[in-house]
């Protein structure tokens, strides 16, 4: 047999690559299912917003709101009269991308271990879900050019709260912490250059 095949470090490296590849495939499938379900849920919520807005405009309070706040009326009308399918897809993918990037940074820098993992579900929603929703709202607002990010907050709260916990799980599955990165790189180089001596029989 080849020396590389007899080297325990080389065998561990191949096993790690095989296991990691399987985790990447499984996570990719879960991500696709998550995005599809989130888009559908966001679309239902957007249609519900649109229905409520049209009903509200037919009431006395709605007419007064339109008269007193024409800028807000225009912003909301532009949102509910837009292509809601495209909007739900756009907000979902934006929320997932932003959350995934932030979660990856938190994972690498040990923030996830100390500030996310110990929290209960309510604390995660308050201290992580809502701030991430605001970040996504600011990003979406820059694209729609509204007067304030609060106009896009109702659009982003559902997709962000749906995906952010999974983004933490995905980053934990696919990414090691920084100390582990250094260790794994060292082990990979050690295996590649066959630095570990063979055991003597």
**Helix axis angle, 70-80 relative to 8-57, nearest 10°?**
120
145 SS3 class = coil
How far, in whole angstroms, is CA 143 from its chain's centroid?
19
Backbone φ and ψ of 98, nearest 5°: -65, -45
Q: Give residue 189's pLDDT.
A: 67
Domain extent listing, the chain: 3-192
Task: Round to whole Å and give the CA distance between 46 and 40.
Answer: 10
Q: Give residue 195's pLDDT.
A: 47
Q: Give residue 201's pLDDT.
A: 46
Written as six digits, the tokens of 184 are 């794994």
Q: Give residue 1's pLDDT.
A: 46
pLDDT, mean of each 10-residue run, the chain (201 residues):
56 78 93 97 95 92 89 85 92 97 93 92 95 95 84 93 96 83 68 54 46
Quote the pTM value. Answer: 0.83
């Amino acid at each position: 047999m080849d020396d590389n095949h007899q080297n325990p470090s080389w065998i561990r490296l191949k096993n790690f690559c095989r296991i990691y590849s399987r985790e990447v495939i499984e996570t990719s499938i879960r991500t696709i299912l998550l995005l599809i379900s989130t888009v559908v849920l966001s679309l239902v919520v957007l249609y519900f917003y649109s229905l409520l807005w049209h009903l509200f405009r037919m009431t006395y309070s709605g007419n007064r709101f339109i008269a007193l706040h024409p800028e807000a009326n225009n912003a909301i009308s532009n949102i509910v009269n837009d292509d809601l399918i495209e909007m739900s897809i756009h907000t979902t993918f934006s929320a997932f991308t932003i959350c995934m990037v932030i979660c990856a940074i938190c994972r690498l820098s040990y923030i996830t271990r100390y500030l996310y993992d110990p929290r209960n579900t309510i604390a995660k929603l308050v201290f992580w879900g809502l701030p991430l929703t605001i970040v996504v709202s600011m990003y979406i607002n820059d694209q729609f050019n509204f007067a304030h990010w609060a106009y896009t907050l109702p659009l982003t709260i559902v997709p962000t709260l749906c995906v952010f916990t999974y983004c933490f799980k995905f980053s934990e599955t696919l990414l090691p912490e920084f100390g582990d990165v250094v260790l794994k790189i060292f082990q990979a180089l050690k295996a590649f250059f066959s630095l570990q001596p063979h055991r003597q029989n």
